[in-house]
Structures are given as structure tokens and as C-alpha cells.
């Protein structure tokens, strides 16, 4: 297995050789097929990894659901708390991804590897207060959300253990993003496939007490998740320690590069924090339309999450390629890489959008049979299906701009758009007594406008002049 991963990391270094060949030509002579192959080489493994992430969550929910409604609710609510951890991780991974991809483009592999080691050290320090606070105070999160006593008890047993393993979650996210910035998304996909199988097997053994293990209930699900994360981190570490590819183990702390990463990542972290708060307000608005509307919205979100898969993959590709090409002082190739990533994502997500518009009831069938819930979910899917093309532009061009270091521009577009084009108009619609469809129409219009703004900023090419 070790030799297999070593061989795979050697393959990741081909991106440097590809870049050297491209730099020997005028960028105007590069064929479109070259861009497409390079984008797909990075995007498809990242998209598949994202799909496995979603499937792993669904499997966890199904297994825990057999323990009762309280256990299922506890795990579901923990996803909301994980958003806070995601804000912290954004501070580390977005800035780190941007700087690492620049250094890779400049062929400064030692500098990129040293930055990864520095970010790992900071992540370890950050995980200490998170782990201690979450382990001893997880029940307060559920009490604050006004959960019932049974949900609080189950949530404390589950989320306290998850928080105790915060360092594993931070490391896993950082390793994935660093390797993606270096042009290697295949290794992360292979690692994720194995860890997802480990997680499912351990869920079966530890939750229900099979194979001679003691039945741990919901705590068993947490332990299984942490062991899967530990597997990821160990394999990533072995991969880097024995690597002769782009990134390798480099035990050097560079405060200058850490400052660069934090400066770029702070805007994205603030954006993520405001976005989380915005979406919570949006859910509160939909809640006012009744339980069926809220359930339909949640069902629609789960289905749409699968449609996000290609957008996520192409966003990773755009962020890596734009950063690398700018680092190699080839802004034209950076522009073309971002543009091709966007158009490929438009084709993929647009095709999924057609299915959402034409067959929404069929997509909702596995989740619910309640007529009102199906009606609300179908309405949501049809409207978001229409907006899959601008949503693809938002995903991918946002990633491209982050890769260029334009994190403040991305933050301004996302925050202002969500607040003034979605939340405020939605509150007005609720106050006026307009139907649920009006809320979903507002959301769709906001997506179109935001996609157009990202396209305009990207086409301005001002991001090509950013120095980090």
C-alpha cells in the first residue's frame, strides 16, 4: 500500500513537467483540449471525493437513525455546529491553498512544503481550545438550541467525542487542500474511498455491538468517525514523508508565509461566518411557512447537494490551476484555466439542473411521501434547477478568484448579495404575506445576479495583477 501511494505522488509531479512544456510555447497556441484535460484531471477526483463525503454522512444518518429520533436529531444538529469548525478551517486552508499553489507554480517546492508544515503546527494549537471546550461543553450547544433532554444527552455523547478529535478534522482538511493546490486530487480520492469503508464497518461494529464489540450506541458512531479521520491523517503523513513529488515532509516554520496565508484566509473565514449566519436566518424565514415547507426545503437541499458535486470539483481545479499559473507568471493561461473550468462546470451542473426541473417529484420520492413536503421540495428543486448555470459560475469563478488571492472581492460579492438580494427581500416577502414560492424566486434571482457579478469580476482580469 505504501509503495502504491508513493507511486501515486510521483504522478502528481507531472503537473510541473506539463507546466514547463506549456511555458515553452506562446500561451495563445495552447489547444482547448489541453485545458480541458488538465481541468478534468483535477476536477473529477475532487468531485468524486465530495460525493463520497455526502454518501458517508447519509450512511451515518441511516445507521444512527435506527437508535431513535433523538439520536438522529442529535447527529443532524451537530452538522450545524460543525459549521463553526468550518469557519476556523477556512482561515487555514483557503489562504494556505492560495500561497501553496503560487509557490508550486514558481517551482519553490521546499517553500510550499514548509508552509504546509507551519499550517499543521498552527492547526494543532488551534485544536486545543476547540477540543477542550467541545469535550466538556458539548451539551451546552444543544441546550442553547433548545433541544429536548433526550437530544441533549445523545448530542453530548456524540459531539463531545467529535470535538475531542478536532485536530484530526483540521489535519484532514488541510492535507486535502494542500495536495489539491499541488495538483494531486487522486490520492485524496483513494484515501477517502478506504476511510469511508472503514467508517461504515466500524459503525456496524461499534454502534450495535457486533463482532464481539460492546454496543456503544451513538458514541460508537463518533468513535468510528474519528478512527476514519485518523486513518486519513496517517496515510497523508506517510504519503508526504516518503514523497519525492511536489509536496514533502519539511519540518520548517516560516512565520512570513503563515502571515500571508492568514491575511488571505481571513477574508474567506469572515465570509464563511457571515454566510452561515445568513443561511440560519433564511431557514428561520422558511420555518414561518410551516413544518412541510421546512421539511421540503431540507429535502431539496440534500438533493441539491449532489448537484454541487461537479461544481465543487471544478472549483478545486480552478483554484489550483489559477494559483499555479499566476505563480509561473503566465496570467493568460491562468485566465484560460479558470474559464475552461467554469464552462465545463456549467455543462455538468446545467445538465443536472434540467433533471431537477423536469423530474423533481421522482427525486424527492426516496426521502418522503408526504404530499405537502413533496410539493415544497419539488418547487424548490425546479427553481434551483433553473439557476444551476449561474450557481456553477459562482462556485468555480469564486474558486478561481480565491486561487488568485482575490479573497476580499469574493467576500464582498457573497456577503452583499446574500444580505441585500436574498435575506432582506425574503423578510419583506414574509412581512407582505407572499407565498413560499416568492422566497424561492428571490433566492433564484439572487443566484443569477451573483453569478453575473462573479463573471464580470473574473472577466475584468484585475485579479491577474494581485501580488501575495
Q: Is 233 exposed, middle or buried (0-12, 13-18, 19+ CB in 10 A)?
A: buried
CA 264 → CA 217, 245, 297, distances in Å? 42, 26, 33
- What SS3 state is found at 245? coil
- Spans of the chain below 70 pLDDT: 1-36, 80, 145-147, 243-245, 291, 367-368
- 207, 221 Cβ separation under 8 angstroms: yes
- 144, 169 Cβ separation under 8 angstroms: no
- 322, 338 Cβ separation under 8 angstroms: yes
b/e per residue 161-193 (b: at least 16 CB within 10 A): bbbbbbbbbbbbbbbbbbbbbbbbbbbbbbbbe
Q: Which residues are CB-neighbours of 368 under 8 A, at least 6 positions away?
A: 295, 299, 374, 377
Q: What is the pLDDT of residue 15?
A: 40
Q: What is the pLDDT of residue 368?
A: 66
Closest of 184, 168, 190 to residue 234, by C-alpha: 168
Rounded CA separation 132/123 (Å): 14
Q: What is the pLDDT of residue 448?
A: 95
Q: What is the pLDDT of residue 1?
A: 45
CA 331 → CA 102, 106, 325, 408, 465, distances in Å? 12, 13, 6, 20, 9
pTM for this entry: 0.79
- 58, 316 Cβ separation under 8 angstroms: no
Site of grid cell 469503508 = 197
- What SS3 state is found at 85? helix
Q: What is the pLDDT of residue 62?
A: 75
Amino acid at each position: 500500500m505504501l509503495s502504491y501511494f508513493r507511486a501515486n505522488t510521483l504522478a502528481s509531479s507531472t503537473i510541473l513537467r506539463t507546466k514547463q512544456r506549456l511555458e515553452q510555447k506562446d500561451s495563445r497556441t495552447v489547444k482547448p483540449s489541453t485545458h480541458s484535460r488538465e481541468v478534468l484531471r483535477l476536477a473529477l477526483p475532487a468531485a468524486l471525493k465530495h460525493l463520497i463525503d455526502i454518501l458517508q454522512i447519509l450512511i451515518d444518518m441511516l445507521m444512527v437513525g435506527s437508535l431513535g429520533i433523538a439520536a438522529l436529531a442529535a447527529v443532524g444538529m451537530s452538522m450545524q455546529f460543525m459549521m463553526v469548525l468550518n469557519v476556523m478551517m477556512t482561515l487555514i486552508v483557503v489562504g494556505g491553498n492560495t500561497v501553496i499553489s503560487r509557490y508550486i507554480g514558481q517551482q519553490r517546492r521546499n517553500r510550499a512544503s514548509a508552509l504546509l508544515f507551519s499550517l499543521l503546527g498552527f492547526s494543532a494549537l488551534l485544536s486545543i481550545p476547540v477540543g477542550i471546550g467541545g469535550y466538556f461543553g458539548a451539551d451546552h450547544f444543544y441546550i442553547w438550541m433548545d433541544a429536548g433532554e433526550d437530544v441533549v444527552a445523545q448530542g453530548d455523547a456524540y459531539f463531545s467525542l467529535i470535538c475531542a478529535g478536532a485536530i484530526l478534522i483540521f489535519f484532514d482538511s488541510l492535507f486535502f487542500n494542500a495536495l489539491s493546490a499541488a495538483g494531486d486530487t487522486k490520492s485524496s480520492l483513494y484515501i477517502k474511498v478506504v476511510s469511508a469503508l472503514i467508517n461504515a464497518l466500524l459503525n456496524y461494529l461499534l454502534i450495535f455491538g457486533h463482532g464481539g464489540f460492546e454496543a456503544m450506541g451513538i458514541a460508537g458512531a463518533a468513535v468510528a468517525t474519528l478512527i476514519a479521520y485518523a486513518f486519513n491523517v496517517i496515510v497523508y503523513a506517510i504519503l508526504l514523508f516518503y514523497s519525492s513529488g511536489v509536496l514533502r515532509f519539511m519540518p520548517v516554520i516560516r512565520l512570513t508565509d503563515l502571515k500571508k496565508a492568514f491575511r488571505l484566509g481571513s477574508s474567506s473565514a469572515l465570509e464563511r461566518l457571515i454566510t452561515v449566519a445568513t443561511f440560519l436566518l433564511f431557514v428561520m424565514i422558511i420555518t414561518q411557512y410551516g413544518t412541510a415547507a421546512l421539511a421540503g426545503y431540507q429535502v431539496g437541499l440534500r438533493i441539491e447537494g449532489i448537484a454541487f458535486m461537479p461544481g465543487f470539483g471544478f472549483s478545486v481545479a480552478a483554484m489550483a490551476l489559477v494559483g499555479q499559473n499566476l505563480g509561473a507568471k503566465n496570467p493568460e493561461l491562468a485566465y484560460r484555466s479558470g474559464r475552461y473550468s467554469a464552462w465545463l462546470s456549467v455543462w455538468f451542473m446545467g445538465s443536472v439542473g434540467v433533471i431537477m426541473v423536469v423530474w423533481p417529484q421522482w427525486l424527492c420520492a426516496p426521502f418522503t411521501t408526504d404530499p405537502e413536503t413533496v410539493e415544497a421540495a419539488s418547487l424548490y428543486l425546479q427553481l434551483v434547477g433553473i439557476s444551476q448555470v449561474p450557481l456553477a459560475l459562482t462556485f468555480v469563478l469564486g474558486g478561481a478568484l480565491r486561487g488568485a488571492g482575490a479573497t476580499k472581492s469574493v467576500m464582498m460579492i457573497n456577503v452583499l448579495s446574500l444580505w441585500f438580494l436574498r435575506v432582506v427581500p425574503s423578510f419583506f416577502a414574509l412581512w407582505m404575506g407572499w407565498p413560499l414560492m416568492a422566497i424561492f424566486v428571490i433566492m433564484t434571482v439572487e443566484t443569477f445576479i451573483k453569478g453575473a457579478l462573479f463573471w464580470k469580476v473574473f472577466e475584468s482580469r484585475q485579479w491577474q495583477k494581485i501580488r501575495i
